[in-house]
Amino acid sequence: MDSWASLPVHDEYQKLVIRMNPPRVSIDNTSSRKATLIKVDSSNRHGSLLEVVQVLTDLNLIIRRAYISSDGEWFMDVFHVTDQNGKKLCDDGVGERIQQSLGPRARSFRSLRRSVGVQAAAEHTTIELSGRDRPGLLSEVFAVLTDLKCNVVAAEVWTHNSRMASVVYITDDTSGMPIDDPDWLAKIKQLLLYVLKGDRDKHSANTAVSMNSTHKERRLHQMMYADRDFDLNYTSCSESYQSRPLVTVENCVEKGYTVVNLRCPDRPKLLFDTVCTLTDMQYVVYHGTIIAEEPEAYQEYFIRHVDGSPISSEAERQRVIHCLEAAIKRRTTEGIKLELCSEDRVGLLTDVTRIFRENGLSVTRAEVSTRGTQAVNVFYVTDASGNSVRSETIKAVREAIGLTILHVKDDEQQSKCPPQEGSGFSLGNLFRSRSEKVLYNLGLIKSCS
């Protein structure tokens, strides 16, 4: 559930528990030399862990380690965090933000923080798009919106496994107000759906228009999941088995849990992506250990389905593995990172993506934002076949857009190698010994001896 206010009427007891036991958040800057410890104690409900992780992620904090326990009606979590520069925190507002997200006066989880890069995030119309990815698709989408007198104030686009999902925030390009005319919205949906379907995606393309605020990254995960981007039948030939994250799922019969172990290159927002996926798949994390110290990240979760049962079939086990692999890969950056900074104007994205298309570039991921009067956009691009772009092509694109406007950015994440199987140690045993020892020392679980 997204917030205290969204609890059903029949769950009055849980409301009372939250009132009588408001969340407690403490910030500890002395126990660790390298990180700030954020400790969260709160009454437990499905989604509480995701709410806390979302707050930390939206505040651009790096979660180096985390220890999670939520057995019964209470959860106790400890997060070791730093800022983007690897420094301890000096912002006293972090604890208050977390308490607001969990307490009885919380606003909707979806609107807690709107990470769309504009000030008046509620004053827009939201468009959600999903379908088969292809070179030039983003250029066609933005061209249609420009022709329909729509101004794109923010957007995020993900591609994975030959699928594309995007959340786009638009306004009327004349008035700057949200678009609420039913006929106009129907036309936008119709034309965008036509673009998405193209010649090959007659059935699975989808569009939606909403006036509500959503947390765009959670929606992107949900849209990709609904579009079955995790389905191995759709896996592109370029994605080898070795390039996939290492995920294992085993039942711990004596304790009634399913144990999920995960190992992959570390990157920002990895914890959010995995917790979001487990939550939306209707699993509850009872205990967990996260170690995210570059270059690799390790995660272990003790989970059950919301009905209290562990994973009960091989098909379900495989589905969890594939969905977690997909959740990690969706945000993995492929291609050259280009950053565009310029005075914002109507049609800017249409012109930029048209130049990309004309030079044979394919956008694998995009983040579009507006800061005051400035457009700050990030694109990851490959050639039409998914390969690296030649330097002369990048030079031609930069000259066409403006050398002072479009810049090539280094991305250290691209140089990290994925883990290989047969690495010489048991990931499950590593996690089990570490996590059970830490949780026992914190008093969160009983000794297994």
User: Residue 244 in contact with residue 265, Cβ under 8 Å?
Assistant: no
User: Per-residue pLDDT tens for 188-224?
Assistant: 999 999 999 887 766 678 898 876 666 899 999 999 9
| Residue 91: inside a domain | yes
Per-residue pLDDT of 211-269, as tens digits, reads 666 689 999 999 999 999 999 765 544 454 456 799 999 999 888 999 999 999 999 99
Burial class (CB in 10 A: 0-12, 13-18, 19+), 125: buried
Mean pLDDT, residues 112-135 taken together: 66
Supply the pTM of this predicted model.
0.82
Judge whether 194 and 148 are in contact, CB under 8 Å. no
Do 130 and 228 reside in the same domain of the chain?
A: yes
Q: Is residue 276 part of a domain?
A: yes
Tell me the C-alpha distance between 421 and 258, whole Å. Answer: 21
Tally of domains within the chain:
2
Same domain, 138 and 220: yes
Domain span including residue 99: 4-112+257-309+423-441
Beta strand ranges found along 116-272 (DSSP E): 125-132, 150-160, 163-172, 206-210, 246-252, 257-265
Asked if 303 and 427 sit in the same domain, the reply is yes
Is residue 9 in some structural domain? yes
Q: Are 378 and 433 in the same domain?
A: no
Q: Around Cβ 64, how many Cβ atoms within 10 Å?
A: 21
Same domain? For 404 and 435 the reply is no
pLDDT at res. 425: 34
Q: Which stretches does DSSP call E strand in 254-294? A: 257-265, 283-293
Confidence of residue 349 (pLDDT cuts 50, 70, 90): very high
Q: What is the CATH number of the domain that holds 360?
A: 3.30.70.260
Judge if 151 and 173 occupy the same domain.
yes
352, part of any domain: yes
143 and 198 housed in the same domain: yes
Note whether residue 53 is domain-resident: yes
Within-domain flag for 291: yes
User: Which strands form 62-69's sheet, in the order they lie side by side?
Assistant: 24-28, 36-43, 74-82, 62-69, 283-293, 296-305, 257-265, 246-252
Domain co-membership, 10 together with 99: yes
The predicted pLDDT at position 272 comes to 97
Confidence check: pLDDT of 7 > 50: no
Q: How many C-alpha atoms does 392 have within 13 Å on its Cβ side? A: 0
Pairing of strands 361-371, 257-265: unpaired
* C-beta of residue 286 within 8 angstroms of C-beta of residue 257: yes
Burial 275-311 (b: 16+ CB within 10 A, else e): bbbbbbbebbbbbbbbbbeeebbbbbbbbbeeeeebb
Q: Looking at the domain assignment, is residue 244 inside a domain? A: no
Residue 219 sits in the same domain as residue 347:
yes
Q: Within this chain, do residues 228 and 279 fall inside the same structural domain, yes or no?
A: no
Considering the domain architecture, whether residues 44 and 107 belong to the same structural domain is answered as: yes
Residue 449 in any domain: the answer is no
d(CA 308, CA 303): 9
Pair 145, 95 in one domain: no
Residue 232 backbone dihedrals phi, psi, to 5 degrees: -65, -20
